[in-house]
Amino acid sequence: MPDHMVLHGYFRSTASYRVRLALSLKGLDYANVSHHLRKNEQRAPDYLALNPQGLVPALEVGGKVLTQSLAICEYLDEVYPAAPLLPQDPIERALVRAAAQVIACDIHPIQNLKILDRLRQNGLAEEAVNAWAIATIEEGLLAFVALLPDSSAPFCFGDAPGMADICMVPQLVNARRFGAAIPPALIRIEANCLALEAFDRALPEKQPDAE
C-alpha cells in the first residue's frame, strides 16, 4: 500500500474538506500543500501540471495524481477499508453514493467561487448572486435529507459516518456562510459528526493554512 500521500488543497475548499475527513476517519498521515484559491494559486503552471483542471483537491499517491474529491475518497476506501465510507451491499452503496452526489454534483458546483464570480462578471448584482447560492443550497439540502433512510439515525446512513456525512458537513459550512436554511435533521447529524475527533481534526480553522 502507498505509505506517503500529499494532499493539495485549501482550508476553505469544501471539496478538500471532504478528502481531509476521509483521511482523518481512516487515520492516514499525509503532507499538506495549500493553494490559495482567492489568489488563483491553483492556476499556477506547476499546479496545472499536476491537475490540468486547476481545481483542488488533488492527491499525490504512489507516483500518481488523483483528482475529484469523491474519486479520491473511493480510492481511499478501497485501499484502506477500515472505517468504511461505503457499505458492502451494492444497493446500499448506490443509495449512499446518490446522496453524496446530490451535494458534490448538484449543490456544490453551482454555488462555488468560480461560478459565483462568473455570475458577477456577467452583471448579476451581489444580492442576486447570494440569492442564487442560497436557493441552490436550500433546494439541494431538502433533496439530500429526503434521501436519508432514517433521519433519526446518528449519522446519515446509520450508526457510523460515511461518504454522505463527509459531503454534508463541509456543505453546511457553505450554507451558513450564505445564510441558507438547514434542515434540523442535518444539524443534529452534523453535531454527532463534529463530536468525533476525526471530524474535529479536519475542521477548516484547524488547518495549517487557515486564515
Question: What confidence tens digit (pLDDT) does each residue in 138-177 have?
Answer: 999 999 999 999 978 999 999 999 999 999 999 999 999 9
Decide if 204 is inside a domain: no
Q: Answer yes or no: do 72 and 15 share one domain.
A: yes
The tally of domains found in the chain comes to 2
* Strands of the 58-61 sheet, one edge to the other: 31-34, 5-9, 58-61, 64-67
Distance CA 103, CA 129 (A): 19
Check residue 5 and give its pLDDT. 97
Mark whether 135 and 59 lie in a shared domain: no
Q: Chain-centre distance of CA 182, in angstroms?
A: 17
Q: Look at residue 164 and tell me if it is in a domain.
A: yes
Residues of the chain with pLDDT under 50: 1
Q: Are residues 72 and 121 in the same domain?
A: no
Full domain range(s) for residue 20: 5-83
One domain for residues 123 and 194: yes
Could you tell me if 77 and 86 are in contact, meaning their C-beta atoms sit under 8 angstroms apart? yes
Cell of 97: 453514493
Spatial distance between the Cα atoms of 204 and 96, rounded to a whole number of angstroms: 24
Q: Give the SS3 label for residue 145.
A: helix
Same domain, 104 and 56: no
For residue 94 the three cell numbers come to 448506490
Q: Are residues 77 and 104 in the same domain?
A: no
Same domain, 184 and 130: yes
Residues 96 and 141 in one domain: yes
Has residue 174 been placed in a domain? yes
DSSP letters for 15-80: HHHHHHHHHHHTT---EEEE--GGGTGGGSHHHHHH-TT--S-EEEETTEEEESHHHHHHHHHHH-
Distances (CA, A) of 108 to 41, 105, 185: 20, 6, 20
Instruction: Tell me the CA end-to-end span of the chain in Å, nearest whole number.
Output: 34
Same structural domain, 45 and 76:
yes
Where would I find the beta strands (DSSP E) of 54-149? 58-61, 64-67
Q: What is the CATH number of the domain that holds 141?
A: 1.20.1050.10
How distant is the alpha carbon of residue 96 from its chain centre? Answer: 14
- The type of residue at 112 is N
